[in-house]
Structure 1
Amino acid sequence: MDDRTEAPLAGDELATLTGFLDHQRDTLRLKAAGLDHDQLHTALAPSSLTLGGLLHHLAFVEHWWTTHVLHGLPLAEPWASADWDADRDWELTTAPDVADGVLRRRWEEAVVESRARVAAVVAADGAAALDRLCVHGRHDDPAQRASLRWVLVHLVEEYARHLGHADFLREALDGTTGS
């Protein structure tokens, strides 16, 4: 039985965006469910991407966009002390060194944190929440700041892009298919 969140067919913009995002999150959880350490960190040649790496990457993406960029808060650990200059893919390359329970919990906590950060904007701004501009702007042009609407669409896009990878990885691991 599929118990993933479904976006409302006729909801308002916020409910539609968060509904689709939660559906993507639930799909990642489903793709990574029941796998052991070796399976979580098995790559398909020629890529080094793994389901464990995707969990770690998307934990970082959630934290980056909703905590750091949207609210302007400093990065939390483990992200704050990562040597991003030495390894721009740090969250992907270090995932095999993270205990499976920690990896899954880190992603789950990032999702909970992300939902809370979005809810805080909605509580403060009401109907205008989606128009709220992020505290931080683009790396190449800090004056260009995205809206919460853009952040939510970007998170949906980020998950959707990587869920295609997750489909291939999971099918190669144990034959499990499906959306």
Structure 2
Amino acid sequence: MEYFRIKQDPECLEAVVIPDAIKQIDRRYVTPEEADRIEDVTVFRLDGTDYPEFIDILDRQLFLVSSQLKEVFGLYVPKLKYKIVIVANSEKGLVNTYHLPIFAPVDCLSEQSVMTPDKKNVRKLVLKQSLLGRKAIFKVQHDFENIIIARLDAAESMLRRNLRGIKMVRVELD
């Protein structure tokens, strides 16, 4: 089986950036066990004079998906819980809703993965295939980085839709 890391396309230079998102939502609480510590709806105010592009995936501080991408996730992980994140600039009339998926992290990072010296980022991602089971979309256990993986069929389903700002990178398995 093939797997792909799904992430925000770095070529989307005009993508919305949420200032200090992790000050309002602590990343440590984005787990099924701690999710009750996160508000059901969080509003982030956008500042600045530009008009950002609201793409379908944001992963700079938190992993957020659009409503359309949430529907695709629902096809493959129907019991996945979400928190709502509203991004708004009332002066410009800009409002968009994103969803924060609450994944149970899967400890499947292989020893063959290559980390940065400070262990905060994964330079080369390798997953232990024996620990993946039949999961279609899941989060890899990592303290500093949002690593979301999609099985081939789920990745193809995302590609068939007109989603913007998503990059998929094939993942090595051992």
Q: State the TM-score, normalizing by the size of structure 2.
A: 0.31
Give the structure with the higher percent strand.
Answer: 2
Q: Which has the higher contact order (CA 8 A, sep 6+)?
A: 2
Q: State the TM-score, normalizing by the size of structure 1.
A: 0.30
Give the structure with the higher percent helix.
Answer: 1
